[in-house]
Amino acid sequence: MRDRDVRLAVRNHLEALHKDDGNTRIVEEMGVWSGSARVDLAVINGELSGFELKSDSDTLQRLPMQADIYSRVFDQVTLVVGRRHADKATDIIPSWWGVMVAEQTNAGVVLDNHKCGSRNPSPDPNLIAGLLWKEEALKVLEVHGLAAGWRSKPAKAIHQRLAEELSFSDLGDEVRQALKSRVAWLRQPVSNMRDMAVQQQSRPLAPAPCATGCGSVMLNAPIAPRSCG
């Protein structure tokens, strides 16, 4: 089972679940914390959800660092892991993360919902604000009447002001809207921005798994709505 097979299975899973939702966007290799980590897939709608993929051919060496960073930014996180790593990986990640186990079968890659996740209990407003490029952050300050005297400030200071002045709900709404509205994340000029670049983008899609339920899904197979119960 190759990494790309697992990625395709997850993409097909998300597309089948949310194909009729035009208010959601999926991106691949989304950088967080100044690009120090890149989550494999991110789903942006009423929440910001991350999917980290670890096939049987991967190692778990970077997972503790990734778990720490993603747990400061995403509302929900799901680890998609090969059967070989499932038990060890589950011990590494926070208890609120979801876990899907990927297995290669004759019919394709099957994704089994091993553990349903829950909402992040302690996101970091500063890191969430830091997902914005500088010009995006300044526009948010302007909308909320907070930009006077701040246009020449460094991006880090602007992000901190957003995190301190906006309610967490308003901050999340503004950040997600900015991420969904970006026209070109590839090769975006970095001057005057804090470039949290995404390496790939896709057509609009929709919300994250286990919001709609748990079960097993197969690469290229129809996926029905499920319930986590």
Q: How far apart are the first and last CA of the chain?
A: 30
Q: Specify the 3-state DSSP secondary structure of 81.
A: strand
- Alpha helix locations (H) across the chain? 3-18, 63-73, 86-92, 125-129, 134-143, 155-165, 168-181
What was the pLDDT predicted at 184?
64
Beta strands, E only, 15-159 = 24-32, 37-44, 48-54, 76-82, 98-105, 108-115
Give yes or no for residue 132 having a pLDDT over 50: yes
Picking from 200, 195, 176, the residue whose alpha carbon sits closest to that of residue 123 is 176
76-82 vs 48-54, strand pairing mode? parallel
Lowest mean pLDDT among 52-61, 64-73, 136-145: 52-61
Give yes or no for residue 196 having a pLDDT over 90: no
For range 188-192, the mean pLDDT: 37
What does the alpha-carbon distance between residue 57 and residue 119 come to, in Å, rounded to a whole number?
Answer: 29
What does the alpha-carbon distance between residue 60 and residue 42 come to, in Å, rounded to a whole number?
Answer: 20
Picking from 220, 217, 196, the residue whose alpha carbon sits closest to that of residue 37 is 196
Distance of CA 86 to the CA centre of its chain: 20
User: Cβ–Cβ contacts within 10 Å for residue 83, how many?
Assistant: 14
For range 12-20, the mean pLDDT: 84
48-54 vs 37-44, strand pairing mode? antiparallel
What was the pLDDT predicted at 21?
82
**Under a CB-based contact definition with an 8 Å cutoff, are residues 45 and 94 in contact?**
no
User: Cβ–Cβ contacts within 10 Å for residue 190, how many?
Assistant: 11
What was the pLDDT predicted at 35?
74
pLDDT-derived band at 212, boundaries 50, 70, 90: very low
For range 156-163, the mean pLDDT: 96
pLDDT-derived band at 148, boundaries 50, 70, 90: very high
User: Cβ–Cβ contacts within 10 Å for residue 213, how many?
Assistant: 15
What is the reported pTM? 0.81
What was the pLDDT predicted at 185?
61
